[in-house]
Structure 1
Amino acid sequence: MEDDVIGVTIATKAPCTDHRSDSAAMYRKDKSIQMKSSASSLYNNLSVLPISDKSLTYFTVVHANTVNMVSASADGLNFSHRQLQSKEGSVALSSSLITQASWCVLPSRVLLVLTSQKGIQMYESDGSIMVYWHALDALETPQAQAVFARGIAPAGGRYICVGTSSGLVLVFDIPTKGTNITLAEVLAEHRDAITDIACETCEGKDRDVDLVTADDSGVLCVWKSGDDFRLVMKISAYGVTCSSVKLWDGVIAAAYGTGQIRLYDASTGAISAELDSHARWIYTLDIAPETGRLLSGAEDSFVQIWQLSRCEESGVIEVEHRHSECVTDTQICGARFCDPQGSAFAVTGYDLNEIIRYVQL
C-alpha cells in the first residue's frame, strides 16, 4: 500500500490478511484483557481512561444492560474487574439496554457517563457512586420510534453533552464537585437520532469551533461552546449514517457506513480528504491528541491508523496511512488509543469477551 496525502482518495480495501509481519508495521499485539461478558454491537463500544500517576488504564465495554469495567496495570499483568448495571435512579432495570459508556474528562473532575433506553447516568470515574440521573421523556417521542440516549462528550471546560434518539443534544452544567448537576441547554438542530459527539482534543488553542455532533442521516453540526452554545455551521448529509466523529486541531474526522472517512476543515466545512479506508461499515474512530494519529475500526475486521498534520505555511491538512491491522473474524465495534501519544491501542469486537491490545514497536 502506498502512502498518500490529501486531495486523493486513499484505498485500503484489502483482503483480510495479517499485516503484523509487514516490515512497515508500527504496532504488535500485546496481552489481551479478558472480560466477564462480551461486547454488544454498538458504535464506539470502548472507552479508555489512562491514569498516568497510578500507572493504570481503565477500560469500559457495554454488554446489553451491563458495563464491563477493567483497570489494568501498565505492565499488563494485574487486572481489576467491576460491572455496572443499568439503573433508573437507584433501581436496577434488567430490560433497559445501555447504548454507550464513556469517560468525560473536565478540568475539575472526571465522570463516567452511561446512556441507555431509559436515560442518562453519571458516576464518579471509578463507577462507585452515581452522582446524577436524567430520565428520557418517552411521551415526547412519536410512537413506534425507539427512545434512547447516545453520543457523549465534554465541552467548554464545564459541560457534558449527550445526544438523544429524537435528535436533541442535552447540555449539562457540571459543578467542580458534588451532585448539583443541571440541564443548562437543549440543542435542537438535528432531525435524526444522534450517533456521536466530539469535542476539540488539541489543547492550548482557542478556536471558533470546539464541538461536533453527528446523526443517523449523516448531518454534522459544528458548535462553539459557552454560556450559550452557538451553531457555527451545518455540514449536509452524505446519504448514509455518520457513525463516529472526532475533532482535532480544527480538523473534523467523520466516519460513514460506506467505509469512508471524510476530513473537513472545521472553520469552513470544506472537505480536505476522503479516505476509502474500509470495505464495510465503520463503527469507531479515535484521535491521539498529542500526535494527531487517527484510528478507525470497522465490520471488515480491520483497524487502520493514519497520521494527520497541518502544513505550517499553508494550513493545509495532510494525511498519511501508517498502519493496518486485521483482527481476524472479528466485527470491530470499539477501538481507542490507550495514551495521548497513540503509542498503544485497544480493540473490542461484537460477541468477543476480551479487549485486544496493541503496542508500538
Structure 2
Amino acid sequence: MYRRDRPLLLRSCPAALYNNLCVLPLPASGLAQFALVHGSNCELLSAVPSGLPLSQRLLHAKEGAGLNLPLITQAYWCVLPFRVLLVLTSQRGIQALFARGIAASGHYICVGTWSGRVLVFDVPAKGPNIMLSEELNEHRVPVTDIAAEPAQGQDCVADVVTADDSGLLCVWKSGPEFKLLTRISGFGIPCPSVQLWQGSVAAGFGDGQIRIFEASSGALHVQINAHARSISALDLAPEAGKLLSGAEDSFVHIWKLSRNPDSGCIEVEHCHAECVTDTLVCGARFCDPKGSSFAVTGYDLSEILRYSCV
C-alpha cells in the first residue's frame, strides 16, 4: 500500500503530453531530480523523499531572432556509462519536424521522430562532440516512445524497443550497428508508452490495455484491461519487478511482474490503485529502483503528486 506524501509545487502546469515526467534517483545524496515540460519550457526540481524541493529552475528553448519558440515534446534523463545527460526533444529541428521518444543504451542515445525514423547518437565520455551514428527505418508513422534495458554483455539479447502511433513495436539489439530482432503488430492502436524488463516488453495502448510480450519472439504473455481510457505513462522498478501505469481515466495502477520458473511465462498481480480525481494523468514514474515511491503529473495540475509505501 502507498500513501500520499507532500506534493511538489510547480511554476507552471504540465503540458498534456504522455510520458510528461522523468525522475532521476540520486541514491548517494538521497535526492531525486524531476523534469517535465510545458510549452517551450522544461521545469527541473530536486527534492528529498518527503521534504520540500531543494532547487527549482526553468530551462527555456531558444530559437533564432524573430521566430516563435519551439514547443518541447519530451524531457528525459539519459544515464550513460560515464555521464548523465538531460535530453529534450522539440517540434522543430534539422533532422525532424518533431521528435518524441528518448532512451539511452550503453553510450548511445536513441531519439524517435515524426517520420518514423529513430536517430541513434554516439555520445563520447566527455565533451560536446555527439555524432549521428545510425538511422533505424522500420517505422512508417510517428514514433511514440523508446525504452532500453542493459543487456549485460550477452549476445543476441533484446535491449531496446521502439513504439509508434500504429502500435507497432520493434525490438532491437543495440551496438555499433543496431540489429532488428522482432516486429510486434499493434493492430492500428497507438502505443504511447513502452518498457523492457528481463527480456519482456510491457506496452501500454490507446485502448487502455497493457500487453506483455516476449521480446525475442514477440509471443504474448499477458493482456490486461488496465484502464478505461488511453494509457499515458508506463514505468518499471527493475529491482522489484513492479510496473506502474497511468492513464487519461485519472487512475494510476501498480502491478507486480514475475516469471513462472516452470513455464517461463510472465505472471501479473495487481498491487495498488490510486485515483487522481478529475485529472488527466500525463506522467507517472517510480522514484527509486525498488518501487517504494512514485510520482504523478496531470494536465492543469500545478504540482507533482508523490506517494510512498506505508
**Equivalent residue pairs, number:** 310
Look at both structures and tell me which one has the larger radius of gyration over its CA atoms: 1
Aligned residue number for residue 63 of structure 1: 38
1:309-324 equivalences in 2 (<5 Å): 309-324=258-273
* Most deviating of 201-210 and 315-324: 201-210
- Aligned residues of 2:151 and 2:157 also touching (Cα < 8 A): no
2:248 maps to amino acid: E
Aligned residue number for residue 76 of structure 2: 102
Is 1:237 the counterpart of 2:196 in the alignment? no
Separation in structure 2 between the aligned mates of residue 93 and residue 299 of structure 1, nearest angstrom: 33
Separation in structure 1 between the aligned mates of residue 186 and residue 47 of structure 2, nearest angstrom: 40
State the Cα distance separating 1:315 from its structure 2 match: 1.6
Aligned residue number for residue 148 of structure 1: 98
Is 1:29 the counterpart of 2:10 in the alignment? no
1:162 maps to amino acid: V
Is 1:304 the counterpart of 2:253 in the alignment? yes
Question: CA separation of 1:289/1:94 partners in 2, compared to 1, >3 Å: closer, same or farther?
Answer: farther
Aligned residue number for residue 39 of structure 1: 14
Aligned residue number for residue 55 of structure 2: 80
* Most deviating of 193-202 and 213-222: 193-202
- Aligned residues of 2:244 and 2:254 also touching (Cα < 8 A): yes
State the Cα distance separating 1:204 from its structure 2 match: 8.0
Separation in structure 2 between the aligned mates of residue 273 and residue 203 of structure 1, nearest angstrom: 26
Superimposed CA distance per residue, residues 139-164 of structure 1 (whole angstroms, 9 cap, x where no aligned partner): xxxxxxxx200000001x11000000
**Alignment partner of 1:53: what SS?**
coil
- Which portions of structure 1, spanning 4 or more consecutive aligned residues, are displaced by more than 4 angstroms? 90-94, 201-207
- Aligned residues of 1:245 and 1:255 also touching (Cα < 8 A): yes
Superimposed CA distance per residue, residues 229-251 of structure 1 (whole angstroms, 9 cap, x where no aligned partner): 01111111322100100001011
Separation in structure 1 between the aligned mates of residue 155 and residue 272 of structure 2, nearest angstrom: 31
**Alignment partner of 1:28: what SS?**
strand
Separation in structure 1 between the aligned mates of residue 49 and residue 66 of structure 2, nearest angstrom: 33
Query: What 5-or-longer segments of structure 1 have no aligned partner?
Result: 1-25, 120-134, 138-146
Question: CA separation of 1:207/1:307 partners in 2, compared to 1, >3 Å: closer, same or farther?
Answer: farther
Is 1:191 the counterpart of 2:140 in the alignment? yes
Question: CA separation of 1:239/1:112 partners in 2, compared to 1, >3 Å: closer, same or farther?
Answer: same
Aligned residue number for residue 48 of structure 1: 23
Separation in structure 2 between the aligned mates of residue 272 and residue 160 of structure 1, nearest angstrom: 29
Superimposed CA distance per residue, residues 164-200 of structure 1 (whole angstroms, 9 cap, x where no aligned partner): 0000000000101111110000001100000000001
State the Cα distance separating 1:74 from its structure 2 match: 3.3
- Aligned residues of 2:165 and 2:188 also touching (Cα < 8 A): no
- Aligned residues of 2:229 and 2:247 also touching (Cα < 8 A): yes
- Aligned residues of 1:168 and 1:188 also touching (Cα < 8 A): yes
Match of 2:166 among 217, 220, 235: 217
State the Cα distance separating 1:69 from its structure 2 match: 0.5
Separation in structure 2 between the aligned mates of residue 289 and residue 184 of structure 1, nearest angstrom: 28
Question: CA separation of 1:204/1:185 partners in 2, compared to 1, >3 Å: closer, same or farther?
Answer: closer
State the Cα distance separating 1:205 from its structure 2 match: 6.4
State the Cα distance separating 1:77 from its structure 2 match: 3.0
Question: CA separation of 1:158/1:148 partners in 2, compared to 1, >3 Å: closer, same or farther?
Answer: same
Is 1:290 the counterpart of 2:290 in the alignment? no
Superimposed CA distance per residue, residues 20-75 of structure 1 (whole angstroms, 9 cap, x where no aligned partner): xxxxxx10000000011000000100000011111111001111110010011234
Match of 1:136 among 84, 87, 95: 95
Separation in structure 2 between the aligned mates of residue 295 and residue 254 of structure 1, nearest angstrom: 11
Using structure 2 for the length normalisation, give the TM-score: 0.96
- Aligned residues of 1:242 and 1:255 also touching (Cα < 8 A): yes
Separation in structure 2 between the aligned mates of residue 76 and residue 91 of structure 1, nearest angstrom: 41
Separation in structure 2 between the aligned mates of residue 160 and residue 152 of structure 1, nearest angstrom: 7
Q: Identify the structure with bigger relative contact order (alpha carbons < 8 Å, sequence gap 6+).
A: 1
State the Cα distance separating 1:316 from its structure 2 match: 1.5
**Alignment partner of 1:54: what SS?**
coil
State the Cα distance separating 1:92 from its structure 2 match: 10
Is 1:263 the counterpart of 2:245 in the alignment? no
Separation in structure 1 between the aligned mates of residue 41 and residue 263 of structure 2, nearest angstrom: 48
Question: CA separation of 1:358/1:158 partners in 2, compared to 1, >3 Å: closer, same or farther?
Answer: same
Question: CA separation of 1:115/1:92 partners in 2, compared to 1, >3 Å: closer, same or farther?
Answer: farther
State the Cα distance separating 1:136 from its structure 2 match: 2.7
- Aligned residues of 1:298 and 1:332 also touching (Cα < 8 A): yes
Query: What 5-or-longer segments of structure 2 have no aligned partner?
Result: none
1:310 maps to amino acid: R
State the Cα distance separating 1:289 from its structure 2 match: 1.1
**Alignment partner of 1:70: what SS?**
strand
- Aligned residues of 1:201 and 1:247 also touching (Cα < 8 A): no
